[in-house]
Chain A
Amino acid sequence: MYVAVKGGEKAISAAHELLAKVRRGDTREAELSVKQVEQQLPLAVARVMTEGAVYDPELAALAIKQSAGDLVEAIFLLRAYKTTLNRFGICEPINTETMQIERRISATYKDLPGGQVLGPTFDYTHRLLDFSLMAEGDVSEPSVADISPSAEMSAEPVSVEPVSKVLEILERENLMVSESDHQSEPTDITRDPITYPAERSARLQSLVQGDEGFLLALGYSTQRGYGRNHPFAGEIRIGEVEVSIVPEELGFEITIGAVQMTECEMVNGFTRHRDGEVKFTRGYGVGFGQCERKAMAMALVDRSLQAADYDEEVVSPAQQEEFVLSHCDNVEAAGFVSHLKLPHYVDFQSELELLRRIRAAEQSDSAKDMN
């Protein structure tokens, strides 16, 4: 008698043990610590925090270690952990204008108040493998004095004063559509599923958590003509901003900590608005840690999703809100794609049976025709 082999508890736990072994790698090498991941892979940590929607570098680093470097898996781990957390309050809106600038650039002005601050960036590096990093031993501390600041570009922030925002400068000149606080309660996509057409707040929340690769491709497609929106990187800034809450029993604001954020504001093609005025339009991108590519891609897509506001014809994928928002989440997408690995015996059996029946019926029909 043949007994069908189906997965059992033993097989599952053995598979998990194997995974743990693969993750550890060669035991003659020192084990990677969570602290090392947090300190030495900060950009991976930033992506996991942004798309995992939890600001906690240590837990993000743990997720990266646990997932053996699979960032989509790490994002998933962090999201699943987030589910279990209690909410004890809602913070006040963060103010990125008071950001302690670590990097701040504008592609629209050569120089501007607050200056151009390159900060830590891959920009302008030559993408040559640096074999010196393969060598063992301590790497000497980079010396700040080696970097010679030019008149309009410096590598280190020059002031700790609030640095005003590029797009606000344009707004004040009446050249830019204004972005104003509606004072209405923002939607919370973790509590209410998105309905279409979506509120801007729901849209931005969804894009922040959205997959960097997916948004990058969509943003790129707008640059290639599928829903062009003529972008300029008006301003990109990275740095720490304070987070504060107003406890009910106190009634005044107290600062509870600081988070590192990246913000990108795009200046987009101008258009004649319903009030008859001609102004630039804008797109907004933001994320935790240093996540410039993500923030830029998000800003491009945020703008392309405003098509309806400017009576633009919606013809390209990046302009279709329902298409973009219902497919941008990589936890959802990876889950549903991976579920194809689950058994589908029953459904497949049903299809098999139907196909055989259709073919049998057709064969008997054609046999009848022959007679």
Chain B
Amino acid sequence: MNPQTIREGYNFAYLDEQTKRMIRRALLKAVAIPGYQVPFGGREMPMPYGWGTGGMQVTAAVIGENDCLKVIDQGADDTTNAVSIRAFFRDLTGVRTTEKTEEATLIQTRHRIPEKPLQAGQVLVYQVPIPEPLRFIEPSEVETRKMHALEDYGVMHIKLYEDIAQFGHIATAYAYPVLVNGRYVMDPSPIPKFDNPKMDNSPALQLFGAGREKRIYAIPPYTDVKSLDFEDHPFEVQRWEQCCAICGSDESFLDEVIMDDQGAHEFICSDTDYCRERMANLEVTA
């Protein structure tokens, strides 16, 4: 690695070493207590709160010179915020970046888990807006911390039950709550529930950073992650009747693209790397 590639006047990965150490201590605690929200002394970052400052602080704390970084937003490497965060770390660490899921040692994500299964040794860093899964039921932090301590999760099940009574379905399509390691109810960040099963027993380390709310939590590799449900209303993921208009995949998460003023639409893979690789393979076999 060539140290000259780092922007002058700044430490490697922006944060000073003391701050990184503080974040790493919080991360260690988070890994030791899967799904538990660890308060940490979150710093202001040069990007606005709500734009991934928590994820960036976690990434800054764990990134090393030999890492290869991938940044996605909505599954895509080329969305504006992903481009901006990737450029930030390229500028302030000089590490290699990639769009290929399998090449990355460190992946920072907003709202998706890559389609390609993650491997042991990879770290997935989630950007989290509201870390507290009980927040929409109980606005007070004092109360929700108590509820976690007492494992008092009845209200969450009541909320899910009320959905079923009212809509016939659990009306949560993203940020669908999970039970981690049989103990803590956790917000998986606003990923679609389509991605929830990928968290369960993943060989990769999953780290969650909430900058504005100053919380860090984690799922260590090979940890049970169960989406909350009922025996007679088992958890299920989204399905599409269409397939990707580019690569033809019928098993990936699809984004809807509006084609004209009349609202005609097509569907394409949200994971751009997955879609690109499928296209490349199709061309080879063709």
Contacts and interface: CB of A to CB of B under 8 A. Distances in A.
A338 interface: yes
Contact of A339 (B19, B40, B51, B245): B51
A112 B19 CA distance: 49
B225 to A, nearest CB: 18
Contacts of A86: 16
B15 A322 contact: no
B167 A353 contact: no
Interface in A187-223: 190-193, 195-197
Nearest to A193: B214
B194 interface: yes
B14 A361 contact: no
Q: Which of B10, B41, B175, B259 has the most CB of A within 10 A?
A: B41
B50 A339 contact: yes
Contacts of A76: 44, 48
B31 to A, nearest CB: 19
A341 to B, nearest CB: 9
B62 interface: no
Contacts of B87: 9
Interface in B53-98: 53, 73-76, 78-81, 83-84, 87
B101 interface: no
A84 interface: yes
A346 B142 CA distance: 32
A357 to B, nearest CB: 7
A7 B79 contact: yes
Interface stretch (B118-126, B154-162, B249-257): B249-257
A7 B48 CA distance: 18
Contacts of B194: 350
A109 B175 CA distance: 58
A54 to B, nearest CB: 11
Classify the secondary structure of A's interface with B.
helix
A1 B257 CA distance: 12
Q: Which of A335, A338, A357 has the most CB of B within 10 A?
A: A335
Contacts of A82: 44
A192 B215 CA distance: 11
Interface string A1-15: 111101111011000
Contact of B51 (A1, A192, A342, A344): A342
Contact of A193 (B41, B81, B140, B240): B41
Contact of B49 (A193, A335, A361): A335
B50 A336 contact: yes
A332 interface: yes
A345 B74 contact: yes
B239 to A, nearest CB: 8
A190 B78 CA distance: 34
A349 interface: yes
A192 B73 CA distance: 29
A74 interface: no
Classify the secondary structure of B's interface with A.
loop
Nearest to B166: A358
A347 interface: yes
A83 B81 contact: no
A342 B167 CA distance: 29
B74 A354 contact: no
Given A1-B245, A83-B44, A345-B270, A195 B253 contact: no
A350 B73 contact: no
A358 B169 contact: yes
A334 interface: yes
Interface string A344-371: 1111011111100110011000000000
A331 B49 contact: yes
A94 to B, nearest CB: 24
A343 B41 contact: no
Interface string B120-146: 000000000100000000001110000
B226 interface: no
Nearest to B256: A349
A246 interface: no
B4 interface: no
Contact of B173 (A192, A195, A334, A354): A354
Nearest to B41: A191
Given A6-B79, A84-B14, A347-B192, A339 B238 contact: no
Given A322-B141, A350-B173, A335 B41 contact: no
Contacts of A3: 246
In the complex, the 6 A-B pairs of residues with the closest C-beta atoms, listed nearest first: A335-B49, A339-B50, A335-B48, A7-B80, A350-B173, A193-B214
21 contacts: A7-B78, A7-B79, A9-B87, A11-B80, A12-B84, A79-B44, A84-B11, A86-B16, A192-B39, A193-B41, A195-B141, A196-B140, A331-B49, A336-B129, A337-B50, A344-B111, A344-B190, A346-B190, A346-B191, A353-B173, A358-B171
Given A1-B245, A6-B79, A336-B48, 14 more contacts: A84-B11, A192-B41, A193-B214, A331-B44, A332-B212, A339-B51, A342-B51, A346-B111, A347-B173, A349-B253, A349-B255, A350-B173, A354-B169, A358-B167
